């Protein structure tokens, strides 16, 4: 067990190392002079030299990387000259937004997608199944930002034109101030996120359930005289759970780093929006910080999922 955990953590650390090295060294092969970008066009050469010394860019790359990693491990992710603030707090401030979006969305897409998948699988070939499959196809094909913009148009703009406010235009209101307002502002973003993801989970669930329901132990469960509901939920779903859990872990992690599109469309000041701004501003320290954070989420999620796997499947133990 310890060996297993150790190997997973080791792998995760490796991923982070590669990621950080990749993003760090990236900026050194990229065109552009960081000092000039910070100081502007009117700076004199001596001023640029001073800035370079402050940034530490006159040292060899590997040394810079080493010192960066050292500081990162203690929580110091560098300094953003654009915002004149350390990177870490900037990012941390954005996390609640992204977290609310992703976790709320996850709850929503699971409660929509999984039952649809089960229903489709139980009534294979029927109208219900065809409807389920249509939902899956449309959900998979709808690019998130298109869905987001269309939703805003139909559910914010048109009611607004008619004189009332059905849903707000976006923006984020903290949970601590008023949960209802918080949820109302997140309603459209949640739905947009959930519809695309629900389709993925519906398809996954449907496929898994179809596989599982054809297994011999389902036949045994029926032969024991168990009710059909028990057979489907206790025996069927339980067996189909593992790939779902794996996918869920991977998705949450990925999204924590990447609900960029939804944040853009709805004007939510989350981690993704921060990344986009940083690209526009060429603010490299922030970009590095965000990428590392994204990688960290994924590594943690992978380890959690692996542990869950061991819990769920006794054969692995």
Partner 1 sequence: MAILEAKGLTVDIPTEDGTVHAVRNVSFAIRPGSLFGIAGESGSGKSVLTQAVTGLLPNADISGEVWFEGRNLIGLSQEEMRRLRGGRIGMIFQDPLSSLHPFYTIGAQIAEVLHAHETIGAAEARARVVDMLGKVGIPSPAERFDDYPHQFSGGMRQRVMIAMALILKPALIIADEPTTALDVTVQAQIVELLDAMRRDFGTTVILITHDLGLLSSVADDVMVMYAGNRLEYGRAADVFRAPAHPYTAGLLRSTPASYRPGTELAPIGGRPPSLLATPAGCVFAPRCPEALARCANERPPLRVYDDGVESLCWLEAGAGRARPVAAAATAAVKAADPEPVAEIEDVYLTYQTGSFFGAKRSLEVLKGIDLTVGRGETVGLVGESGCGKSTLARIVAGLVPATSGRVRVLGKDMASLNARAWRKMRREVQLVFQDPFGSLNPRRRVGAIIGDPFRLHGIASGEERREKVRRLMEMVGLNPEHYNRFPAEFSGGQRQRIGIARALALNPALIICDEPVSALDVSIQAQVLNLLRELQRDLGLTYLFISHDLSVVRHVCDRIAVMQGGRIVELETAERLFADPQHAYTRTLLSASKTLPAFAGGGERVLVETRGLA
Partner 2 sequence: MSGIAANEPSAEAEVVQRGSFALTVRRLRRDTASMAALCVILAVILLAVVAPWVAGITGHSPIEQFRETGLSPAGIPVGPGAEFWLGTDQLGRDVLVRLAYGARVSLLVGVFASMLASLIAVVVGTTAGYFGGTVDLVLSRLTDLVMSVPFLLCALALVSAFGPSLMLSVAVIVFFSWAPMARVIRGQVISLRRQDFVLASRSLGAGPLSIMVVDILPNLAVPIIVYTTMQIPNSIVFEATLSFLGMGIVPPTPSWGGMLADASSNSLYLVAWWLIFVPGTALLMTTLAFNILGDGLRDALDPKSARTVRRLRHRPKAGAKP
Contacts 24+ apart (CB under 8 A), 238-242: 239/212, 239/215, 240/205, 240/208, 240/209, 240/211, 240/212, 241/312, 242/309, 242/312, 242/313
Whether residue 185 contacts residue 172, with contact meaning beta carbons closer than 8 Å, is answered with yes
User: Which does residue 26 bind out of partner 1, partner 2, none, counting CB within 5 to 8 angstroms by kind?
Assistant: partner 2
- Tell me the per-residue interface mask from 193 to 212 with partner 2, x by CB under 8 A, - otherwise: -------------xx--x--
Establish if 254 lies at the interface with partner 2 (CB under 8 A). yes
Whether residue 242 contacts residue 236, with contact meaning beta carbons closer than 8 Å, is answered with no
Is 142 or 184 the residue whose CB approaches partner 2 more closely?
Answer: 142
Find the binder of partner 2 among 18, 63, 174, 310 (CB under 8 A).
18
Binding footprint of partner 1 on the chain (CB under 8 A): 1, 3-4, 7, 215-217, 219-228, 230, 235, 238-239, 312-315, 317
Q: What are the structure tokens assigned to 56, written together?
A: 């530490």
Q: For residue 264, what is the enclosing H or E element?
A: helix 260-266
Is 109 or 266 the residue whose CB approaches partner 2 more closely?
Answer: 266
78, 87, 217, 250, 290 from 276: Cα distances, Å: 18, 15, 51, 22, 10
Cβ at position 241, least distance to partner 1 in Å: 9
Is 98 or 100 the residue whose CB approaches partner 2 more closely?
Answer: 98
DSSP string over 63-112 = HHHHHHHHHHHTT---EETTTTEEHHHHHHHHHHHHHHHHHHHHHHHHHH
Establish if 298 lies at the interface with partner 2 (CB under 8 A). yes
Find the binder of partner 2 among 202, 290, 305, 306 (CB under 8 A).
290
Whether residue 209 contacts residue 237, with contact meaning beta carbons closer than 8 Å, is answered with yes
**3-state SS of the chain: helix, strand, coil percent to 5?**
80, 0, 20
Calpha distance 166→189 (Å, rounded): 14
Cβ at position 141, least distance to partner 2 in Å: 4
Is 21 or 311 the residue whose CB approaches partner 1 more closely?
Answer: 311
- Tell me the per-residue interface mask from 22 to 51 with partner 2, x by CB under 8 A, - otherwise: xx--xx-xxx--------------------
At a CB cut-off of 8 Å and minimum separation 6, what does 131 contact? none
User: Which does residue 11 bind out of partner 2, partner 1, none, counting CB within 5 to 8 angstroms by kind?
Assistant: partner 2
Cβ at position 46, least distance to partner 2 in Å: 27
Cβ at position 180, least distance to partner 2 in Å: 25
Cβ at position 277, least distance to partner 2 in Å: 10
Question: Of 296, 302, 304, which Cα lies nearest the Cα of 95?
Answer: 296
Taking phi over 0 as left and psi of -120 to 50 as alpha, with beta for the rest, 78 belongs to left
209, 233, 238, 272 from 230: Cα distances, Å: 14, 5, 11, 42
Cβ at position 123, least distance to partner 1 in Å: 12
Establish if 280 lies at the interface with partner 2 (CB under 8 A). yes
Residues that bind partner 2 (CB under 8 A): 11, 14-15, 18-19, 22-23, 26-27, 29-31, 124-126, 129, 137-138, 140-146, 149-150, 152-153, 157, 169, 206-207, 210, 250, 254, 257-258, 260-261, 264-265, 272, 275-276, 278-280, 282, 284, 287-288, 290-291, 294-295, 297-299, 302
């Amino acid at each position: 067990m310890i060996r297993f955990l150790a190997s997973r953590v080791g792998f995760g650390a490796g991923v982070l190392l590669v990621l950080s090295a990749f993003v760090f060294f990236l900026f050194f092969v990229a065109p552009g002079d960081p000092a000039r970008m910070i100081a502007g066009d009117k700076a004199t050469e001596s001023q640029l030299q001073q800035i370079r010394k402050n940034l530490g860019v006159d040292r060899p790359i590997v040394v810079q990387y080493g010192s960066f990693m050292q500081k990162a491990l203690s929580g110091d992710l560098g300094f953003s000259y654009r915002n004149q603030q350390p990177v870490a707090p900037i990012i941390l401030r954005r996390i609640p937004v992204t977290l609310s979006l992703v976790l709320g969305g996850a709850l929503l897409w699971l409660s929509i997608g999984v039952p649809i998948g089960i229903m489709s699988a139980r009534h294979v070939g029927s109208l219900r199944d065809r409807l389920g499959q249509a939902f899956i196809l449309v959900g998979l094909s709808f690019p998130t930002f298109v869905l987001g913009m269309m939703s805003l148009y139909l559910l914010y703009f048109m009611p607004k034109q008619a004189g009332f406010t059905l849903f707000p235009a976006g923006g984020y209101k903290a949970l601590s101030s008023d949960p209802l307002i918080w949820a109302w502002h997140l309603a459209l973003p949640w739905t947009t996120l959930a519809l695309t993801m629900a389709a993925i989970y519906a398809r996954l669930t449907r496929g898994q359930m179809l596989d599982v329901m054809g297994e011999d132990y389902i036949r045994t469960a029926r032969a024991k005289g168990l009710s059909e509901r028990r057979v489907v939920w206790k025996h069927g779903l339980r067996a189909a759970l593992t790939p779902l859990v794996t996918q869920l872990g991977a998705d949450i992690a990925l999204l924590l780093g990447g609900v960029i599109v939804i944040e853009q469309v709805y004007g939510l000041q989350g981690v993704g929006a921060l990344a986009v701004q940083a690209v526009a501003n060429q603010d490299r320290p922030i970009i590095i910080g965000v990428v590392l954070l994204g990688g960290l989420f994924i590594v943690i999620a992978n380890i959690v999922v692996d542990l869950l796997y061991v819990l769920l499947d006794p054969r692995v133990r």
